[in-house]
Structure 1
Amino acid sequence: MPRAVREQQMLDAAVRTFARRGYRNASMDDIAEQAGVSKPLVYLYLNSKDELFAACIRREAASLVAAIRAAVEHDAPADRRLWSGLHGFFTYTAEHPDGWALLHVQARTHGDPFAREVAAMRAEIVEFVTHLLRTAVREHGCGAARTGRMTGGEAAGLAYALVGAAESLAEWAGGRADGGPSAEEAAATLMNFAWAGLGNLLRGERWSPGERVGA
């Protein structure tokens, strides 16, 4: 069997093992057994448990980012582009629960350098969503002041909020005993929450706390 194919089999086995047993409880013996190879062969290909864990994180992170980018319907209206990206995210997390658990739970709880790998992935997704939001603002034809505000730091802040909400919704959906909503339903839920508010911003309708009752 070609080395590249064998290595992917080992990574598949490692992702399952790390996601389900946790980094500390996963052993190289477990991973070798899952992959159907000897433990020395795992060490030969992937050197150490730390390097194997890092390789799993990098592969799963790259796959998630690629899935989101590929899902976006670039020729569609702005709301459909954002929805399709969210749909791609929720589809990926539903179809790859072990990979998502590795990124969202395991990698974040074992410190550097693993957490940095996930942070880099998240930053790339936030940057991509920021681009989608800024494009939506430009296409909407807002006034110069609103366009300047939304294409500046505000779009990045909204992108962080949207990515965080998507992560939380995926975690909630994955923990449901009934399997949770479909990827399409989850994406629509988040769009109903976020896009209506974004529409208000595009129209210049901004919420403010106003005066306190009884003040």
Structure 2
Amino acid sequence: MPREVRERQMLDAAVEVFARRGYRAASMDEIAELAGASKPLVYLYLNSKEELFSTCIRREAEALMTAVRAAVDPAAPADRRLWNGLRAFFAHTAAHPDSWAVLHCQARTHGEPFALEIAALRQQLVDVVTHLIADTARGGCGRTLPDREAAGLAHALVGAAESLAGWSNDRTDEAPPERDPAETLMNLAWAGLENLMNGRGWVAARS
């Protein structure tokens, strides 16, 4: 079997085991067995358990970013680009729950170097959404949103998307929500942007 195919099988198995067991409880024996390979071969191809986990994080992060970027058609209207990006994010995380569990749950809880990998993924998402928000504001209202404000809104939107994806994926035994997560978040973002750009931003009452 070609090495590339064998490595993909090992990584697929590792993602499944890490998602189910967590990084510390996952064993190379179980990963090797699920992949249909010997443990020495897993070590030969992918080195240590730490390096294997890092490789899984990088592969799954790249797959998620590829899905989001592929959905954002540069020729589409600004609001459609934001909508398509959100839909692609939620569609990918729903279709690959083990991948999302590794990225959102497991990798965040074990410190460096895993947390740095996740921080890099999050920054890529924030950068994409920052541009989409700025373009959406210009397209919808013809006004420019300050860079810092657009970045702040992007951080908030990405954080909400991450949380909503985790919540949505955990609802396996419940009835599906009336709206899909992408529509829920798009309504929140679009209504907020429209009010903000038309001078209807919320102001705290003075005590």
TM-score (structure 1 length as normaliser): 0.91
- How many angstroms apart in 1 are the aligned matches of 2:24 and 2:35? 19
CA RMSD of aligned residues (A): 1.5
Would the alpha carbon gap of residues 181 and 21 (structure 1) be closer, same or farther in structure 2, given more than 3 Å must change? same
- How many angstroms apart in 1 are the aligned matches of 2:73 and 2:183? 15
Determine the structure 2 residue equivalent to 1:16: 16
Residue 178 of structure 1 aligns to which amino acid in structure 2? E
Identity over aligned residues, as a percent? 63
Between Structure 1 and Structure 2, how many residues are aligned?
A: 206
Determine the structure 1 residue equivalent to 2:61: 61
- Does 1:154 find its partner at 2:154? no
Determine the structure 1 residue equivalent to 2:137: 137
- Secondary structure of 1:73's match? coil
- Paired residues for 1:20-59 under 5 Å: 20-59=20-59
Offset at 1:76?
A: 2.3
1:57-96, CA deviations, whole angstroms, 9 ceiling, x for partnerless residues?
0000000111111112332222211111000000000000
Residue 166 of structure 1 aligns to which amino acid in structure 2? A
Determine the structure 1 residue equivalent to 2:83: 83
- Does 1:93 find its partner at 2:68? no
- How many angstroms apart in 1 are the aligned matches of 2:9 and 2:44? 14
- Cα pair 1:94 1:174 within 8 Å, conserved: yes
Residue 25 of structure 2 aligns to which amino acid in structure 1? N
Moved >3 Å (runs of 4+): 140-143, 179-182
- How many angstroms apart in 2 are the aligned matches of 1:28 and 1:44? 12
Unaligned regions of 5+ residues in structure 2, if any? none
Determine the structure 1 residue equivalent to 2:200: 205
Would the alpha carbon gap of residues 28 and 179 (structure 1) be closer, same or farther in structure 2, given more than 3 Å must change? farther
- How many angstroms apart in 1 are the aligned matches of 2:134 and 2:192? 15
Offset at 1:211?
A: 2.7
Which of these residues, 168, 182, 186, is aligned with residue 187 of structure 1?
182
Would the alpha carbon gap of residues 180 and 86 (structure 1) be closer, same or farther in structure 2, given more than 3 Å must change? same
Determine the structure 2 residue equivalent to 1:178: 174
- How many angstroms apart in 2 are the aligned matches of 1:201 and 1:81? 19
- Secondary structure of 1:210's match? coil
Determine the structure 2 residue equivalent to 1:2: 2
Would the alpha carbon gap of residues 181 and 3 (structure 1) be closer, same or farther in structure 2, given more than 3 Å must change? farther
- How many angstroms apart in 2 are the aligned matches of 1:141 and 1:104? 34
- Cα pair 2:141 2:198 within 8 Å, conserved: no
Unaligned regions of 5+ residues in structure 1, if any? none
Residue 10 of structure 1 aligns to which amino acid in structure 2? M
- Cα pair 1:142 1:203 within 8 Å, conserved: no
- Does 1:120 find its partner at 2:120? yes
- Secondary structure of 1:191's match? helix
- How many angstroms apart in 2 are the aligned matches of 1:89 and 1:180? 18
Determine the structure 2 residue equivalent to 1:74: 74
- Cα pair 2:61 2:103 within 8 Å, conserved: yes
Residue 183 of structure 2 aligns to which amino acid in structure 1? A
Residue 165 of structure 2 aligns to which amino acid in structure 1? A
